[in-house]
């Protein structure tokens, strides 16, 4: 990565404003954090700064409050969890900008950590307001972006603060960029990519960008219905992206021309409704009734996908194979996740719900790398520049 990192700048005694991605899942009933992996992923940067006696000011969003204060989306539980993990008290500010916050920042001592309140309580964050970015920048001497998961968005705290402060990458963001760059530039073959989730449109850029780099593409999840439709299969009431059917057909043809094997499901789990009490059955993709919808890949497809993956030396996976939040439609996703530790090679999970499944099964430590950014990783691997990375200083410019 040709961007400066926190290692390239003097931080001792400095007020360091760190954009983190603490958008963690929270139980709506108890307010408890369900998965703290995003918090833990940023520990290397936070601990690096603490050890060098910086005054650490963390900024993050949580959920979609849409510019309003929502008590359920306050960051106090996140600060409490971070305090437990770090073994030191993490303060919580009442807001993320303003005189009161500035006073709280000025009282910080070397090695202290303060978490500011939810950035998205201000609509100016998502609109990319220069004034909001300037107000945030007043709080620090240096800006560190360690929020890869939101670096594809041109929000004020991601792309704007670097206009007013020296801006460098955190250790997590550096690791994300380097890992995903190696995936594109130096994959060990055979290289297999697994794609699932609902939408083809989210992944078109990446599919096109890696088509000449992969040996095999495995397509499951809701997006498989659009590909099956492109092959003139009956997909019943499955949700498809009608405007992407022709695109799917083009991708199938592009895979053929590039020599990549694009493999679709041969059997699927079908149901009337995507509900936990719904009845289901397994059918061939050539026998999907017009009044049923696809909910998961079937056992024959699982076995086909397993066979391809076992021979692979590099695997990238983004998107579940079915409606994994409903137990009877989670078999395909869980089967592939359980296979990952057995593979003899590099295994990279592309964030989002796929990462949540892998973590929930206790397999996080058995995977080479789990990206913290589903959308960001797809944009980056699709060859797009990320606003949050563009805004950082190039090596040798500070």
Task: Say which CATH number the domain at 40 has.
Answer: 3.40.50.1260
- Which segments in the chain show pLDDT lower than 50? none
What is the spatial distance between Cα 364 and Cα 367, in angstroms, rounded to a whole number? 6
pLDDT of residue 120: 98
- Within 10 angstroms of residue 310's Cβ, the number of other Cβ atoms is 12
pLDDT of residue 398: 57
Same domain as 196, residue 165 = no
Among residues 144, 173, 202, which one ends one of the domains?
173
Same domain as 271, residue 130 = no
Please identify which residue in the block is written with the tokens 């007020």: 15
| Inside any domain, residue 256 | yes
Same domain as 232, residue 164 = no
End-to-end alpha carbon distance in the chain = 16
Among residues 173, 197, 216, which one ends one of the domains?
173
DSSP class of 322: S
| DSSP sequence for 100-130 | HHHHHHHTPPTT-EEE---GGGSHHHHHT-H
Asked if residues 278 and 191 have their Cβ atoms less than 8 Å apart, the reply is no
| Inside any domain, residue 396 | no
pLDDT of residue 198: 87
Asked if residues 14 and 55 have their Cβ atoms less than 8 Å apart, the reply is yes
Domain total in the chain: 2
Task: Just list the catalytic residues.
Answer: 38, 199, 352, 375
Same domain as 314, residue 198 = yes
Which pTM does this prediction carry?
0.91
Show the domain range for 338. Answer: 187-381
Same domain as 229, residue 144 = no
Same domain as 144, residue 257 = no
- Within 10 angstroms of residue 284's Cβ, the number of other Cβ atoms is 13
Same domain as 204, residue 131 = no
Among residues 130, 148, 173, which one ends one of the domains?
173
pLDDT of residue 27: 86
């Amino acid at each position: 990565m040709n961007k400066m990192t926190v290692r390239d700048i003097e931080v001792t005694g400095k007020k360091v404003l760190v954009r983190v991605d603490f958008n963690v899942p929270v139980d709506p009933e108890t307010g408890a954090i369900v998965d703290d992996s995003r918090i833990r992923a940023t520990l290397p940067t936070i601990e690096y700064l603490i050890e060098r006696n910086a005054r650490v000011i963390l900024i993050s969003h949580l959920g979609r409050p849409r510019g309003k204060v929502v008590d359920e989306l306050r960051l106090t539980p996140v600060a409490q969890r971070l305090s437990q993990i770090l073994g030191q008290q993490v303060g919580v500010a009442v807001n993320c900008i303003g005189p009161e916050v500035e006073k709280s920042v000025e009282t910080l001592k070397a090695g202290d950590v303060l978490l500011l309140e939810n950035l998205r309580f201000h609509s100016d964050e998502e609109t990319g307001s220069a004034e909001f970015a300037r107000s945030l920048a007043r709080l620090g001497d240096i800006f560190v972006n360690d929020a890869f998961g939101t670096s594809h968005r041109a929000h004020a705290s991601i792309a704007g603060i670097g206009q007013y402060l020296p801006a460098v990458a955190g250790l997590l963001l550096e690791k994300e960029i380097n890992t995903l760059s190696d995936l594109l530039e130096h994959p060990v073959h055979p290289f297999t990519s697994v794609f699932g989730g609902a939408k083809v449109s989210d992944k078109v850029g990446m599919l096109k960008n890696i088509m000449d780099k992969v040996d095999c593409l495995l397509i499951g999840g809701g997006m498989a219905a659009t590909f099956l439709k492109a092959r003139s299969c009956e997909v019943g009431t499955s949700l498809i992206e009608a405007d992407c059917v022709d695109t799917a057909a083009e991708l199938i043809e592009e895979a053929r021309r590039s020599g990549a094997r694009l493999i679709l499901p041969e059997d699927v789990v079908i149901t009337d409704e995507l509900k936990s009490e719904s009845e289901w059955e397994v059918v061939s993709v050539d026998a999907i009734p017009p009044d049923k919808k696809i909910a998961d890949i079937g056992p024959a497809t699982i076995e086909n996908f397993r066979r391809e993956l076992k021979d692979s030396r590099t695997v990238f996976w983004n998107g579940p194979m079915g409606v994994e939040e409903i137990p009877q439609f989670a078999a395909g996703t869980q089967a592939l996740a359980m296979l990952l530790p057995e593979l003899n090679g590099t295994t990279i999970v592309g964030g989002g719900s796929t990462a949540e499944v892998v973590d929930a099964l206790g397999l996080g430590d058995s995977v080479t790398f789990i990206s913290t950014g589903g959308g960001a990783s797809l944009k980056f691997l699709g060859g797009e520049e990320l606003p949050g990375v563009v805004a950082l200083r190039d090596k040798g410019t500070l």
